[in-house]
């Protein structure tokens, strides 16, 4: 650990703040970690769907799965069901599982497509968690039992922050309640101390800016430029509203339904359903967007709908002087693929590694941190755009514009490589692997223009037999699994 960073101050007590405080207190027990938050300002409190990497984060921190699920009204998530994205009535799954081999002559998707046998059913039937999700079943994969897939969780974001707070305080983090009114700079440009509204001063050597959209330190005090992605990702508002579940099934997946000027999420928690409508204000007014959300609810609204405003993009640099921004203060991409908490985790992992190695601002390692985070935002941006730009919808201006937009060059190349040769090109710092890209291409009915000649190397009968066997074995495995609801109850009872 760089001895210059003995006093670490975390600004903000939302998900990002408490994740950061817990992780830093665990990694650096000899440093003091102080977190400053303001109950009066509160937290953003949305963010109920996660990405599988959260399980690795919990493992490192020693978080017990059942305890976490009980504390946060959590459920299991196998992936996302997309409705109406390609066209009205069409749906597909993006799950955290595979479709067999991805490349070469035996690429399973390629054989499936080449045969074109209706009897085989959709490609989804070759993917274990997609079949589980479609039947509402869940069972965690056991070590070495051949059921290979990953999973994540849905949870109440406010309860998650509270859960992490208890853990952080147990690990020695000091919490200070108060509203920050100023961040006073040092001669070298870094932050010397924070001034609170009641006159207190909080000094630190390293400041983790987890102040949410306010971006108090990196944005406001250091004035780091915001890189705007809104020309590709125009959604800039969300209405969020919890509802009663009203007997609706406890699905082990998030649902994202494309609407006239955006999309609606449905996230099943153990005691209610989280709903939201993410929309572009240049295509629809706020009131109409709220009405569209209300039509999506599972049951009676449990609170007034809440409006959130944002703009897709990120700060140009993430670590500047002695300030590192994590969470919404560093940037935001719409929550279509639940990547915000993942980005916090990714930043934290890199930061801890660099702090352990004694990195200092101005060094190449810190420049590489910034470049790595920037790339990761860009890769996820491209993946999200893919969901939109392949649409066949032309029924509203948003969809017409999304279908004809000029793509970032990085994404245009990937789409070209797929169309030309069925190649799932991957850059560095990808947030999503080739299987995920395949799931979106396949789900949107977007296939290579000409078949790779090597796909014909497998004799027709052999390919058919292999695909039937895989499909039937998946179906047989899923038939023995409990419903998501029953499995969750058994875990909560542990």
Ligand X SMILES: Cc1cc2nc3c(=O)[nH]c(=O)nc-3n(C[C@H](O)[C@H](O)[C@H](O)COP(=O)(O)OP(=O)(O)OC[C@H]3O[C@@H](n4cnc5c(N)ncnc54)[C@H](O)[C@@H]3O)c2cc1C
Query: So which residues are the catalytic ones?
Result: 77
Stretch near ligand X under the rule CB under 6 A, chosen from 24-32, 40-48, 130-138, 443-451: 40-48
Query: Rounded to the nearest whole angstrom, what is the least distance from the CB of residue 296 to ligand X in the complex?
Result: 14
- Distance between CA atoms of 107 and 382, rounded to whole angstroms? 24
- Per CB under 6 A, the list member of 5, 9, 10, 12 interacting with ligand X is 12
Binding-site string for ligand X from residue 310 to residue 329, where x marks contact by CB under 6 A and - marks none: x----------------xxx
The correct pick among 308, 371, 405, 434 for binding ligand X (CB under 6 A) is: 308
| Angle subtended at Cα 147 by Cα 67 and Cα 52, rounded to the nearest 5 degrees | 45
Q: 37 vs 378, which CB is nearer to ligand X?
A: 37
How far is 328 from 208, CA to CA, in rounded Å? 12
Q: Where does this chain touch ligand X (CB under 6 A) — which range of 42-50, 162-170, 294-302, 447-455?
A: 42-50
The pattern of x and - marking residues 147 through 176 that bind ligand X according to CB under 6 A reads: ----------x-------------------
Between strands 191-196 and 201-203, the pairing is antiparallel
Provide CB contacts within 8 A for 295, sequence distance 6+: none
Whole-number Å distance between alpha carbons of 12 and 210: 5
204 binds ligand X (CB under 6 A): no
345 is a contact residue toward ligand X (CB under 6 A): no
**Nearest CB to ligand X, comparing residues 291 and 486:** 291
DSSP 91-133: EEEEESB--S--SSTT-HHHHHHHH--GGG--GGGGSHHHHHH
Residue 443 within binding range of ligand X, rule CB under 6 A: no
- Nearest approach in angstroms of CB 210 to ligand X is 5
108-115 vs 460-479: helix crossing angle, rounded to 10: 110
For residues 265-294, which are near ligand X according to CB under 6 A?
Answer: 276
Would you count residue 211 as binding ligand X (CB under 6 A)?
Answer: yes
Q: Is residue 9 near ligand X by the rule CB under 6 A?
A: no
User: 3-state class of 241 per DSSP?
Assistant: strand
Gyration radius of the chain's alpha carbons:
23
What's the rounded Cα separation, in Å, for the pair 22 and 27? 9
The distance of closest approach from Cβ of residue 336 to ligand X in the complex, given in angstroms and rounded to an integer, is 9
Find all residues with CB under 8 Å of 6, minimum gap 6, and list them. 30, 31, 32, 205
Buried-exposed string 223-248: b where 16+ CB fall within 10 A, e elsewhere: ebeebebeebbbbbbbbbbbbeeeee
Query: Which residue's Cβ lies closest to ligand X?
Result: 14
The verdict on 33 binding ligand X (CB under 6 A) reads: no
- CA–CA separation, 312 vs 325, rounded Å? 16
Min separation Cβ 342 and ligand X, Å: 6
Binding of residue 22 to ligand X (CB under 6 A):
no
Among 23, 133, 180, 354, binds ligand X (CB under 6 A): 180
- Scanning 59-67, 334-342, 416-424, 451-459 for contacts with ligand X by CB under 6 A, the matching segment is 334-342
Task: Note whether 97 binds ligand X by CB under 6 A.
Answer: no
Q: Do the beta carbons of residue 444 and residue 98 sit within 8 Å?
A: no
Instruction: Mark residues 43-62: x for contact with ligand X by CB under 6 A, - for none.
Output: xx-xxxxx------------
Which residues bind to ligand X, rule: CB under 6 A?
Answer: 12-17, 36-38, 41-44, 46-50, 157, 179-180, 210-212, 214, 216, 238, 240, 276, 308, 310, 327-329, 335, 338, 340-341
């Amino acid at each position: 650990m760089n001895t210059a960073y003995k006093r670490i101050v975390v600004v903000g007590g939302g998900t990002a703040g408490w994740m950061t405080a817990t992780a830093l207190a665990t990694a650096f027990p000899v440093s003091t970690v102080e977190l400053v938050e303001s109950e009066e300002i509160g937290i953003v409190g949305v963010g109920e769907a996660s990405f599988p990497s959260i399980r690795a984060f919990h493992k490192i921190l020693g978080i017990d799965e059942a305890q976490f699920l009980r504390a946060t009204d959590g459920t299991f998530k196998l992936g996302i069901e997309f409705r109406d994205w390609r066209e009205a009535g069409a749906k597909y799954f993006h799950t955290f599982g595979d479709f067999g081999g991805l490349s070469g002559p035996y690429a399973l998707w390629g054989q499936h497509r080449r045969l074109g046998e209706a009897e085989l059913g959709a490609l989804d039937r070759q993917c274990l968690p997609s079949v589980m999700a479609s039947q509402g079943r869940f069972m965690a994969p056991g070590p070495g039992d051949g059921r290979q897939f990953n999973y994540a969780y849905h949870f109440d974001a406010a309860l998650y922050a509270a859960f992490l707070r208890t853990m952080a305080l147990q690990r020695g983090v000091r919490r200070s309640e108060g509203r920050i009114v100023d961040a006073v700079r040092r001669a070298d440009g870094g932050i010397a101390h924070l001034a609170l509204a009641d006159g207190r001063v909080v000094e630190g050597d390293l400041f983790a800016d987890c102040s949410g959209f306010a971006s108090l330190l990196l944005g406001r005090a250091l004035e780091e430029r915001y890189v705007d992605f809104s020309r590709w990702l125009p959604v800039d508002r969300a209405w969020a509203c919890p509802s009663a579940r009203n007997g609706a099934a406890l699905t082990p997946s998030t649902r994202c339904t494309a609407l006239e000027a955006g999309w609606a999420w449905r996230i099943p928690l153990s005691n209610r359903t989280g709903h939201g409508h993410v929309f572009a204000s240049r295509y629809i007014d706020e009131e109409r967007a709220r009405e569209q959300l209300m039509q999506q609810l599972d049951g009676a609204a449990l609170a007034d709908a809440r409006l959130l405003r944002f703009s897709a993009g990120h700060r140009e640099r993430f670590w500047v002087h002695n300030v590192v921004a994590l969470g919404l203060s560093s940037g935001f991409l719409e929550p279509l693929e639940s990547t915000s908490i993942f980005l916090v985790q990714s930043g934290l992992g890199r930061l801890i590694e660099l702090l352990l190695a004694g990195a200092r601002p101005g060094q190449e390692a810190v420049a590489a941190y910034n470049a790595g985070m920037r790339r990761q935002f860009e890769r996820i941006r491209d993946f999200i755009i893919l969901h939109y730009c392949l649409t066949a919808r032309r029924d509203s201006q948003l969809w017409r514009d999304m279908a004809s937009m000029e793509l970032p060059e990085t994404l245009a190349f990937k789409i070209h490589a797929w169309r030309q040769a069925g190649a799932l090109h991957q850059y560095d710092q990808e947030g999503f692997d080739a299987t995920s890209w395949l799931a979106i291409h396949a789900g949107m009915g977007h296939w290579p223009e000409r078949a790779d000649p090597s796909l014909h190397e497998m004799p027709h009968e052999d390919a058919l037999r292999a695909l039937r066997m895989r499909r039937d074995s998946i179906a047989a495995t899923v038939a023995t699994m409990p419903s998501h609801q029953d499995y969750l109850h058994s875990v909560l009872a542990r």
